[in-house]
Amino acid sequence: MLDHEQILIRRGPRSGLPVIIALHSTALGPAAGGLRLWHYPDWRDGLTDALRLSAAMTLKFAVTGLASGGGKTVVALPPGTWLDPARRRDVLHDVADQIDSLGGTYTVGPDVGTSPADMAVIGEVTPHVFCKPKHLGGSGDSSPHTAHGTLAALRAVSRRLYGESDLKGLRLGLIGLGHVGEHLARLLAAEGAHLTVTDIDPAKMKIADELGAAWSSPEEIVSTDVDILVPAALGGLLTTQVVGQLHCRAVVGPANNQLDTPETAELLHQRGILWIPDHVASAGGAVHAITTEVHHATPDEALARVQAIEGTVTELLRTADDLHVTLAQAGHEMAQRRIRAAAGLVPAEG
C-alpha cells in the first residue's frame, strides 16, 4: 500500500540527473526535510531512501510536537559521478524548480551531501528552503541546536534514572567529537558531568585534554562502565554484539540510525537499557531551523521548542511504561495519535 501522499520523480532538465521528492504526510502541516545528494548503484535505490527518510521525518516532527509533515529529496548520483561547481549548480537549480512547483507544500534543507551553501543556491530560485547561511537570512549551522536538544533528552533520562535532571557527576561516554559531539562535550563539561570521549580522529584528543575528559578507543568505549552512552558519530553502532557488551543504563545520542535493525530496540529493552530513539534525541537542529525559518518563531520561542525535547522524552518514557512497550514503539504510538488527531479521526489530547 502506498503510504505517501505524493512522489515526484523528474529528470533534471539541466543536469540530466533524477530528482526524487517524497512527500510522506502533510497531516500536521506543510512538509519539510533535507536534500540528500548521494551516490546510489541505481536511481531506484535513491527512491527507496527517499520513501524511508520522508516517513522518518513525519515521525520526528509528530513526536516532537511540530506542526510540520515529513518530506525528503534525493538526487541519485550514479556511482563514480563527480559534480564540478557548474554541474552542482545545475543540480541544485533542478531541485529548486521542482520544489517551487509544489508551491510551499514542502520546504527543503540540508542533509547528507549538502550544506547551507547549497541551500543558498536553491534559494536563488525558490523561497521554500531553510538553513541558508546566516548572512543570507537563514539559520545556518544546525549542530549547536542539535547538541542542545540532546542535552534536553539527557536531562529527562537522568531524572528518570536518578531522580534529578542535573547532569553533575553523571558518568557519560561520548562517541564522536564532530560538529555536534564537540558542542555537546562542551555543554556536558560545563554541567560538571564526568566525560569519557572517543573519536577515530586522534587530533580530537586535544578537546578531551581541554575539557579534562578521559580518552578511550572507539572499540573500548562501548563496554566502559558509564551511566549513559552518547553516540554522536555515524549510524549503525547498536548491533546485537555491541548491545551485549554495553555497560550503561541508557543510550541517548544525536547520531542518526543508531540501530542496525529495528529489532535491536527490543534487545536493549530486554537488557533493561533505556534507548531514546535517535529521531527524538537528534531533533534539536531540525526543530530549531524549522521553527525559526518555516514557522517564523522568535529565537526565544525556538530555543523553548528545542528545550521541550526534555518534556517529549519524559512523555515517551511514560507512554512506554503505560503500554508496556519499547520507547521506539511508544514514539510510533505518540506520533500516530497526533496525526490521527490532526486528521480529525480521534479527539486531540489535552
Ligand X SMILES: NC(=O)c1ccc[n+]([C@@H]2O[C@H](COP(=O)([O-])OP(=O)(O)OC[C@H]3O[C@@H](n4cnc5c(N)ncnc54)[C@H](O)[C@@H]3O)[C@@H](O)[C@H]2O)c1
Which residues contribute to the site for ligand X (CB under 6 A)?
A: 142-143, 146, 175-181, 198-201, 218, 232-235, 254-256, 282, 285
Instruction: Name beta bridge partners: 35.
Output: 73, 110
- Alpha carbons within 13 angstroms on the beta-carbon side of residue 54 total 31
Q: Which of 72, 132, 204, 206 is catalytic?
A: 72
C-beta closer to ligand X: residue 29 or 113: 113
Distance of CA 43 to the CA centre of its chain: 24
- Alpha carbons within 13 angstroms on the beta-carbon side of residue 117 total 4
C-beta closer to ligand X: residue 23 or 232: 232
Cα–Cα–Cα angle for 291, 132, 41, rounded to 5 degrees: 100
C-alpha cell at 154: 539527557
Any idea what DSSP says for residue 204?
A: G
C-beta closer to ligand X: residue 154 or 255: 255
- Helices 299-307 + 284-293 axis angle, to 10: 150
Please, what is the minimum distance in Å from the beta carbon of residue 257 to ligand X? 7
C-beta closer to ligand X: residue 173 or 254: 254
C-beta closer to ligand X: residue 93 or 148: 148
Please, what is the minimum distance in Å from the beta carbon of residue 255 to ligand X? 4
Give the integer Cα–Cα distance in Å for 340 and 166. Answer: 35
Please, what is the minimum distance in Å from the beta carbon of residue 31 to ligand X? 18
| Residue 56 vs residues 34, 186, 255, 349: alpha-carbon distances, Å | 12, 29, 14, 23
Long-range contacts, 191-198 (Cβ 8 Å, 24+): 191/151, 191/166, 191/167, 192/167, 192/168, 193/167, 193/168, 193/169, 194/169, 194/170, 196/171, 196/172, 196/221, 196/224, 196/226, 197/173, 197/221, 198/173, 198/174
Please, what is the minimum distance in Å from the beta carbon of residue 196 to ligand X? 12
Any idea what DSSP says for residue 125?
A: T
C-beta closer to ligand X: residue 18 or 109: 109
Q: Is 72 a catalytic residue?
A: yes
Please, what is the minimum distance in Å from the beta carbon of residue 209 to ligand X? 16
Please, what is the minimum distance in Å from the beta carbon of residue 323 to ligand X? 27
| CB count in 10 Å sphere of residue 195 | 22
Please, what is the minimum distance in Å from the beta carbon of residue 15 to ligand X? 25
C-beta closer to ligand X: residue 98 or 224: 224
| Residue 100 vs residues 8, 29, 97, 104: alpha-carbon distances, Å | 12, 17, 5, 7
Catalytic residues: 72
